[in-house]
Amino acid sequence: MVIIMQAGAPEEEVEAVIKAVEKTGFRPWVNPGVERKVIALLGAMDAEKIELVDHFSALPGVERVTLISEPYKLPSRRTHPDPTVVEVGPVSIGGAELAVIAGPCSIESREQMIEAAQAVKESGANLLRGGAFKPRTSPYSFQGLGVAGLQILAEARELTGLPIITEVVHPGDLEIIAKYADIIQVGARNMQNFRLLQEVGQTGKPTMIKRHPGCRVQELLTASEYVMLEGNPNVILCERGITTFEHATRYTFDLSAIPVLKRFSHLPVIADPSHATGDWRYVTAVALAAVAGGADGIMVEVHPDPTVALSDGPQSLRPEKFADLMRSLRQVAAAVGREVRQPVAQ
Amino acid sequence: MVIIMQAGAPEEEVEAVIKAVEKTGFRPWVNPGVERKVIALLGAMDAEKIELVDHFSALPGVERVTLISEPYKLPSRRTHPDPTVVEVGPVSIGGAELAVIAGPCSIESREQMIEAAQAVKESGANLLRGGAFKPRTSPYSFQGLGVAGLQILAEARELTGLPIITEVVHPGDLEIIAKYADIIQVGARNMQNFRLLQEVGQTGKPTMIKRHPGCRVQELLTASEYVMLEGNPNVILCERGITTFEHATRYTFDLSAIPVLKRFSHLPVIADPSHATGDWRYVTAVALAAVAGGADGIMVEVHPDPTVALSDGPQSLRPEKFADLMRSLRQVAAAVGREVRQPVAQ
Amino acid sequence: MVIIMQAGAPEEEVEAVIKAVEKTGFRPWVNPGVERKVIALLGAMDAEKIELVDHFSALPGVERVTLISEPYKLPSRRTHPDPTVVEVGPVSIGGAELAVIAGPCSIESREQMIEAAQAVKESGANLLRGGAFKPRTSPYSFQGLGVAGLQILAEARELTGLPIITEVVHPGDLEIIAKYADIIQVGARNMQNFRLLQEVGQTGKPTMIKRHPGCRVQELLTASEYVMLEGNPNVILCERGITTFEHATRYTFDLSAIPVLKRFSHLPVIADPSHATGDWRYVTAVALAAVAGGADGIMVEVHPDPTVALSDGPQSLRPEKFADLMRSLRQVAAAVGREVRQPVAQ
Amino acid sequence: MVIIMQAGAPEEEVEAVIKAVEKTGFRPWVNPGVERKVIALLGAMDAEKIELVDHFSALPGVERVTLISEPYKLPSRRTHPDPTVVEVGPVSIGGAELAVIAGPCSIESREQMIEAAQAVKESGANLLRGGAFKPRTSPYSFQGLGVAGLQILAEARELTGLPIITEVVHPGDLEIIAKYADIIQVGARNMQNFRLLQEVGQTGKPTMIKRHPGCRVQELLTASEYVMLEGNPNVILCERGITTFEHATRYTFDLSAIPVLKRFSHLPVIADPSHATGDWRYVTAVALAAVAGGADGIMVEVHPDPTVALSDGPQSLRPEKFADLMRSLRQVAAAVGREVRQPVAQ
């Protein structure tokens, strides 16, 4: 941490800051500059000390405080240099084989879910998605089938052998969701629902946290710390687009978040081109790009008939388009030293 | 709702869309244009029909669908032309007297809270704030005193006579918070925690919803619909800055959100210059501007000694600065036909 | 300037950076920390040295470089603590009387311009605006009357006695514009057209620079340095909204930019609510707010009949609405210790 | 164009709008809805009619006007369905072989430029970049060698056989630049310097327009119309990152802009990962992603020794890193059916 004093801050103010630093157990190291003082804190600076930034910032004469260390610890590469591989049944997320999570946005019926599950499996997906509890912007939108949806999803797992991921939106649903899901998803809108993160962490289950479209990469990593601090190291991060001034797409897929996350964290990174673009026409391009840019997998919405979908129809791929995507993805994955599961002969 | 077909979409696709429209109970009205067709839906279009946008968007040959009606109903001026006034004990939020909500970010101790409460009352504040359950970006930050904090806050209410507002972050805390608070605050990070919104709505208590810094005004209004649909009309909206590329301030205070909200909604609007700017130096300017721009009140962080605050020190005003702010605010309020409570003679 | 080394950067890399610092004439001051080194540069750091940030950032082992000093000099309060007042004929921009710049977006005809000029004068405007050379997003839009427009504008000045401001978009037009205009406007889209800024600076005429909607406040200040370095201290800054994800208004008016600019710079600050909102319904609220927040004036588009305007009709006020705005503005200005010229009795 | 009236707009207002539509030569088509009227304009709607949006928006009773057609014509796929291939000497930009534009940000000396040119050629670049006139944010930054730089660049072309691209920042320099350059670059900051665009169009030379970081894709396409309207079809578009709230990278590379541009326009699209990220560590990931996502080429900054670069050192690749990038790019290009020139045996 480095404290930058205002130019010409009086000697008493500099002294007061130095005393405040000493009180916190750090050793102050002050430059002898005449115009303005810079005070570095010597000693091990942990994420636990993050509040000192605010504390010192509020002192008279302080221009600003620069945090040098990262504000998180467990997701950092510095504490864990090797990449984390999250094992989910037979699938290793973060390994050589890409995670390809596919399925409908919402579970709408047994028939729809099973049909989608079989289709994506045939094309080479290795994980199955489906929403049972849906966080919808409008209260008039379909809110999901709830527990009945979970049962259908579990049946789809039985039939295909693919592990399943589904979202939790309320702490009261967590117990039942944890019983069914192989991976618990914390959706973008709950990325900073910190109490939920802690409770999800306590389940010990593999957890995928989606980045809120209005939050920085650093905030995503700090959110993951809430889960990991509960003793749960099985965290997967997901980039799904950020809110910007451009509205040719629903959100702006932040491609460089992938190498940034890879540089600062050891956790696996998944890309969600469906939510990022909001338009099936752009899903394949963004999926291929994400993998070329280093993503450990993709999450794609696939629906047997998007025109009758109860949610996210415009961004859902038909099964045959998804099969095309997978063929192209196999090429791109190979080009960057990764693999995609082969299609299943019917 | 207006459906815009792609230029040159084949006749079958246009026909299919027309049929789809008819199936939903609307009457399609198609322009006879040769280049591209535009299909307007005739019939009463309610917020309940919002999902049709997605449905029609996913049909082949559709370029895009434009929603004409608002995606919310209860917070709209069209369903409720007169401004709502939320009564909180002796205070009328949305009336001629401005709501001035002041107090510390977190309740840290009995002494700190009482001192802050008395100071803001003396300057003319008419509502008291204080956080007992805190949603903190870092798990290493102070998370609040919990129920002990609520008790201190209630004691401050006793002493000053000012109604209190405090935040709920977890459904499990709602019952106890509703017992203590006069206004329940849904913080920015929970603005789209839809299940929490519903449960808060069920308490029937006056509720203030803060805009998420990554969400549009329209999303704030749709969030308020979740509360109102539970039969709770006592909703207050709060603008507290949005995330933009500018980082001279922590967030960018969206001043024009005030007249926009006032145009489309009947709900009272509060401005929070403390969180918007993140710097006490800018709080007064933004507070005065918000009131000149039509806000029904402000929410300001005040701490007896910001340099020892456990949260938000850099953006908290000392009591004497707050007194200055209130003196200026009285002038500006009068200039736009509003009032601010007079200071209490000591 | 402070250079932050990567944690665990090898000794040779630290040594190399220290040598690089010494070569630039600064004295390096290194913290004795074990985990990571921080190197402060001792010596007078001027805006002229800004390139050192890039230079040091590119050295091996450097995590990042923090610039402590401002990257501009002449517009800074540190080099010029007192506020600048720009004298334009009888008007003092930055003094107690607010600058109220009003008139049509484009000069369309003699009749339209004269009518607008007389109307805004009667309501108390003290400066006249009108575009003769227009930078239009579409090449099919009206591009302005050119020199003929300047002549009409000059005639409006004769008739009303109000000084005039008009925009330059091409260096080749600068000479003729400088002959007519009392203030030269550099529009938002040219804020970083640095060669144009220099040439405008050489005219010595009062110059108003509008902030580009995609640029930070700091970039606006650095742009103003280009003009001031040519020996022209008569620079006026203008906030006119930034591009954000919110599209309830055309741009987001950055209210806090006003106190931020006032803190870091001595230059006068004007607010343009017309371009910021793009909608006449919000112009008055934003204008009042800007003045309550500390602006030295406003620039407002007024057109005798917005429905026939060749540009910016939807954001232009009719003369009677502008008169209303001015009546409210007089109250708010008084509340913050400023004045607005009285209306002219007809 | 579709005009949406306010709910409950009185009959006279609807009539007035209908008359206004008829006056413009279009036939109004009005829905018979009771709640609110929607008026579609029948007749060929061209980009030339873009101003009608503003005209109708300003009429009383109008809620908003939706433009259905694109606000540009010549860059549109609708007027030119086949992809444009811009021929630059032996290089075809937009063809199967990717355009790989590489070289230093600024031409600093003969030695530096020649060394960079030879290195990038050896790795398989097929176009050479180098700035002679630089638009720098700070007036204290290196502004380029000017004409001397152009001469050095031309010499590098002689030696390598690679066509050259360089930027114009002032109309007065255009003649001399057009004499030297094979492609004229209009930089991001001049994307909306419309008069410059027209003058560049008049040269008839291949022109690359970089997207302003604060502008939408649609604005980039409208900017290209300024060049094409002068009879110059040889336009290349370049995505180089947009300004967002995320500051882990200098800008946010808008990956989906590539498929969006490809959908709406026939012009070739180049990606600039150097400016987008501002950090050499992320350049390769973004370059690979851009090509996987459909870009027709990349523009990358390469400097023999970034630590002594006079501009953009931190984002410049050393020649050996660039060689690595090219090896990976060859794989990814092949995976999506494109080619990259082979390295030159030394």
Please spell the DSSP secondary structure of B103-163, one letter per residue.
E-SB---HHHHHHHHHHHHHHT--EEE-BSS---SSTTS----THHHHHHHHHHHHHH---
The mean pLDDT of B194-214, rounded to a whole number, is 97
Suggest the residue from C212, C216, C221, C256 to mutate for an interface test with chain B (most B CBs closer than 10 A). C256
pLDDT tens, A182-227? 999 999 999 999 999 999 999 999 999 999 999 999 999 999 999 9
Backbone angles phi, psi at B254, to 5 degrees: -90, 85
Task: Using the predicted structure, report yes or no on whether residue C18 has a pLDDT greater than 90.
Answer: yes
Please report the beta strands in A255-337, taking only residues with DSSP state E, as ranges in sequence order. Answer: 269-271, 297-301
CA distances from C17 to A37, C27, C40, C175, D278 (A): 21, 12, 11, 49, 20
Q: Which two tokens stand for residue A81?
A: 């240099």
| Average pLDDT value for chain A | 94
> Do residue C31 and residue A42 have CB atoms under 8 angstroms apart?
yes
Task: Match 């922590």 to its residue by tokens.
Answer: B250
Instruction: Give the per-residue pLDDT at A46.
Output: 75
3-state secondary structure string across D32-93: CCCCCCEEEEECCCCHHHCHHHHHHHCCCCEEEEECCCCCCCCCECCCCCCCCCEEECCEEE
How confident is the model over A47-72, as a mean pLDDT? 85
- A295: DSSP letter: -
pLDDT digits (tens, 9 = 90+) for B297-330: 999 999 999 988 888 889 999 999 999 999 999 9
Confidence at residue A45, expressed as pLDDT on a 0 to 100 scale: 72
Q: Is A262's pLDDT higher than 70?
A: yes
Query: How close, in Å, is residue D308 to chain C by CA atoms?
Result: 7
Q: Is the model's pLDDT at B271 over the cut of 90?
A: yes
Residue corresponding to tokens 């319904």 = C281
> What pLDDT score was predicted for residue B2?
86
Nearest Cα of chain B lies from the Cα of A344 at a distance, in angstroms, of: 28
What's the pLDDT score for residue D70? 85
d(C-alpha A200, C-alpha A228), whole Å: 10
Nearest CA in chain B to C276: B256
Residue A114 has, within 13 A of its CA and on its CB side, a CA count of 8
pLDDT of residue D130: 97
Q: How far apart are CA C186 and CA C210, in angstroms?
A: 6
pLDDT digits (tens, 9 = 90+) for C217-256: 999 999 999 999 999 999 999 999 999 999 999 999 999 9
* Cβ partners under 8 Å of residue A58, min gap 6: B306, B307, B309, B313, B314, B316
Among A8, A15, A47, which Cα is nearest to A225's?
Answer: A47
Tokens of C310: 């060749």
Neighbours of chain C (3+ CB pairs under 8 A): A, B, D
Picking from D155, B137, C38, D187, the residue whose alpha carbon sits closest to that of residue A197 is B137
Would the pLDDT of D346 be above 70? no
Q: Do D256 and A285 touch (CB under 8 A)?
A: yes
> How much is the average pLDDT of C38-67?
84
Q: At what angle do helices B280-292 and B319-335 cross, to 10 degrees?
A: 20
d(CA B13, CA B15): 5
Contact B273, B305 (CB under 8 A): no
What are the backbone dihedrals phi and psi of residue A219, each rounded to the nearest 5 degrees, phi first? -70, -35
Search chain A and give the residue with CA nearest C68.
A4
Task: Report whether A315 contacts A278 (CB < 8 A).
Answer: yes
Contacts of C2 in chain A (CB under 8 A): 2, 4, 38, 66
CB D193 within 8 A of CB D209: no
Residue B120, CA distances (Å) to A130, C153, C236, C318, D96 in order:
51, 53, 38, 43, 70
Total CB pairs under 8 A between chain A and D: 133
Q: Using alpha carbons, select from D257, D68, B63, C64 the residue that is nearest to residue A285.
A: D257
Q: How confident is the model at residue C15 (pLDDT cuts 50, 70, 90)?
A: very high
Q: Which residues in chain B are contacts of A215 at CB distance < 8 A?
A: 214, 243
Residue B255 scores a pLDDT above 70: yes
* Shortest Cα–Cα distance, A92 to chain B (Å): 28
Judged by CB atoms closer than 8 Å, whether chains meet at B307 and A60 is answered as yes
pLDDT of residue D69: 80
Does the pLDDT of residue C19 top 80, yes or no? yes
Please determine, for residue A346, whether its predicted confidence score (pLDDT) is greater than 80. Answer: no
Nearest CB to A217: which of D248, D263, D328?
D248
Helix axes A110-123, A319-335, angle to 10 degrees: 30
Q: Of all residues in chain A, what percent carry a pLDDT higher than 70?
A: 99
List residues of chain D with CB under 8 Å from any CB of chain A: 214, 216-218, 242, 244-249, 252-260, 263, 276-277, 281-282, 285-286, 288-294, 328, 331-332, 334-336
β-pairing, C164-168 vs C183-186, is parallel
User: Does the pLDDT of residue B70 top 90, yes or no?
Assistant: no
Whether the predicted pLDDT of C313 surpasses 90: no
pLDDT at C312 over 90: no
Q: Which residue of D has its CA nearest to C251?
A: D214
List pLDDT tens digits, range D131-156. Answer: 999 888 888 888 899 999 999 999 99
Which of D26, D31, D46 to mutate: most B Cβ within 10 Å? D31
Given pLDDT bands bounded at 50, 70 and 90, which one contains residue B36? Answer: confident
Residues D229/C143, Cβ–Cβ less than 8 Å: no
Burial of D332 (C-beta count, 10 Å sphere; 0-12/13-18/19+): buried
State the Cα–Cα distance between residues A222 and A243, nearest whole angstrom: 20
- Closest by CA position to C183, among listed C236, C116, C147, C117: C236
Q: Is 70 exceeded by the pLDDT of residue C203?
A: yes
Neighbouring subunits of D (3+ Cβ pairs under 8 A):
A, B, C
**Confidence band (pLDDT; 50, 70, 90) for C34?**
low
Which of B1, B2, B26 is the mutation pick for testing D, counting most D CBs within 10 A?
Answer: B2
Per-residue model confidence (pLDDT) at position D71: 87
Using 50, 70 and 90 to split pLDDT, how confident is the model at D326?
very high
Is the pLDDT assigned to residue D32 strictly greater than 80?
A: no
**Angle CA(D21)–CA(D26)–CA(D32) in degrees, nearest 5?**
65
Q: Residues D163-212: pLDDT tens digits?
A: 999 999 999 999 999 999 999 999 999 999 999 999 999 999 999 999 99
State the pLDDT confidence band at C346, using cuts at 50, 70 and 90: low
Search chain D and give the residue with CA nearest B43: D33
Give the whole-angstrom CA distance, residue D30 versus residue D26: 12
**pLDDT for residue B310:** 86
Helix and strand tally (H, E) in chain B? 11, 14
pLDDT at A32 > cutoff 80: no
- Each residue's pLDDT tens digit, C117-136: 999 999 999 999 999 998 88
Residue C276: pLDDT band (50, 70, 90) is very high
Whether A112 has a pLDDT exceeding 80, the answer reads yes
Measuring CA to CA, how many Å separate D300 from each of B68, C72, D150, D253, D307? 45, 29, 19, 14, 17
Residue B153 and residue B155: Cα distance in Å, rounded?
5
Give chain C's mean pLDDT: 94
Rounded mean pLDDT, B239-260: 97
In this structure, what are the phi and psi dihedrals at residue C42, rounded to the nearest 5 degrees? -95, 140
Are A255 and D263 a contacting pair, CB within 8 Å?
no
Nearest by CB to residue D171, choosing from C20, C171, C312, is C171
| Segment holding A288, helix H or strand E | helix A280-292
Which chains form contacts with chain A, at 3 or more CB pairs under 8 Å?
A: B, C, D
Beta bridge partners of C120: none
Measured between CA atoms, how close is A252 to chain D, in angstroms?
A: 6
Does residue C45 have a pLDDT over 80? no
β-sheet bridge partners, residue B97 = B339
Q: How far is D290 from chain A (nearest CA, A)?
A: 6
Assess contact for A171 and A195: CB atoms under 8 A.
Answer: yes
Indicate the pairing of strand A62-66 with strand A2-5.
Answer: antiparallel
ipTM reported for the complex surpasses 0.90: yes
**Confidence (pLDDT) at A29:** 87
B79, two tokens: 């369903």
Measured in degrees and rounded to the nearest 5, phi and psi for residue A106 equal -110, 145
Mean of pLDDT over chain D: 94
Asked whether the predicted pLDDT for residue C152 surpasses 80, the reply is yes
- Taking CA atoms, A217 is separated from A209, A262, B141, B263, in Å, by 12, 11, 19, 35
Which pLDDT value is given to residue C289? Answer: 98
Q: Inter-chain contact B247–D243, Cβ cutoff 8 Å?
A: no
Lowest-pLDDT range of A331-340, C212-221, D29-38: D29-38
- Where do we find the tokens 């007192």? C82
The C-alpha atoms of residue C190 and residue D162 are separated, in whole angstroms, by: 33
Task: Kindly identify which residue of chain B lies nearest to residue C216, measuring between CA atoms.
Answer: B246
Structure tokens at A212: 């809120």
Say how many residues make up chain C: 346
> Which of D53, D68, D251 to probe the B interface (max B CBs under 10 A)?
D68
* pLDDT value of position C52: 85
Distance, in Å, from the CA atom of D161 to the CA atom of D154, rounded to the nearest integer, reads 10
Average pLDDT over residues D99-115: 97
